[in-house]
Each structure stands twice: as C-alpha cells, then as structure tokens.
C-alpha cells in the first residue's frame, strides 16, 4: 500500500464505486409493460378486440422501436423527452457526424432500463439515414437493425 501513488484507492468498497447501488436500483425497477405493437400495420395487436400486453424485454423493445419512429417535439401528445432528433441530421451538405447520431440515439433511449449501447452502424445516402445498433438492457440485448429515417 505504501508503494502505490494512490494508497486510498485500495480500500474502495462497492458502495463507493456505485456498483452495489446500480444493482439495487435495477432490482427496484418495476417490470416494464407495454401494449404489443404490429409494425407492419402500425397498430396495436388485438386478440378478441383487446390489446395484448407484454412485459420485460419484448415490451422494452417495442418502446425502443416506437421512440425511434417518433420525431421529438413534433407531436403534442408526447412529452418533449420522448422521441429522437435524428431528423436534424438529414439534408446537411456534409455527411452527418456519426458521434452526433449516436448521441441522439442515446438521448432518445435514455432510461434506467437501458444500460449501454454498442455496434453502431450509420450510413447516409441522399436524404435517407440508415441506422443499426445494439442496446444492452436490464433484460438482455436488443438489436435494432435497418432503422431508416
């Protein structure tokens, strides 16, 4: 301990690093629930006229897809925290900065249920932005492929 330039680091507990707090916070999260959504018809999935409810990863995945299909600030029905701002990248003379597109995705999907993002693939051709990425959630991984804007 005397040889270390930072002797105080050896005694750091999980509580001080936030590891134990993060695990407790995740354990305290309620189960994510969402109504099933049919993206081909852009409508709720109904069984005998009643909407189907999902829980956990499938429900969180629907929220992520719907959030990525909604432009932020455009619809009064949603709060200003819901949706994305990727539309602002379209029509720029130069190709959009990949880090800016990643930032917009991270902001749009900011949630205690979403832990990390990886494997971003961003391509722009003419006025179309193609986006794919992986999100690590408290329920497991979600891969969003071929999102077109």
For residues 104 and 149, the answer to whether their CB atoms sit within 8 Å is: no
- pTM score over 0.75: no
Residues 85-124: pLDDT tens digits? 666 665 555 555 677 778 888 888 888 999 999 998 888 7
CA distance 63 to 149: 17
Domains of the chain in sequence order: 13-148 (3.10.450)
C-alpha–C-alpha distance, residues 7 and 38, integer Å: 57
- Residue 21 pLDDT: 43
pLDDT at 38: 92
CA distances for 78 relative to 2, 30, 70, 83, 137, angstroms: 57, 22, 9, 8, 23
Mean pLDDT computed over every residue of the chain: 76
Helix (H) or strand (E) holding 138: none
């Amino acid at each position: 301990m005397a040889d270390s330039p930072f002797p105080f680091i050896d005694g750091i507990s999980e509580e001080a690093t936030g590891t134990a707090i993060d695990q407790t916070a995740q354990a305290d999260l309620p189960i994510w629930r969402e109504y099933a959504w049919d993206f081909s018809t852009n409508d709720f999935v109904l069984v005998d006229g009643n909407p189907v409810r999902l829980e956990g990863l499938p429900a969180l995945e629907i929220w992520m897809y719907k959030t990525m299909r909604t432009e932020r600030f455009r619809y009064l029905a949603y709060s200003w925290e819901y949706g994305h701002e990727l539309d602002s990248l379209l029509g720029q003379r130069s190709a959009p900065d990949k880090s800016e597109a990643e930032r917009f995705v991270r902001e749009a999907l900011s949630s205690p249920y979403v832990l990390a993002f990886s494997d971003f693939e961003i391509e722009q051709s003419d006025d179309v932005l193609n986006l794919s990425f992986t999100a690590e959630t408290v329920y497991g991984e979600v891969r969003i492929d071929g999102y077109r804007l």
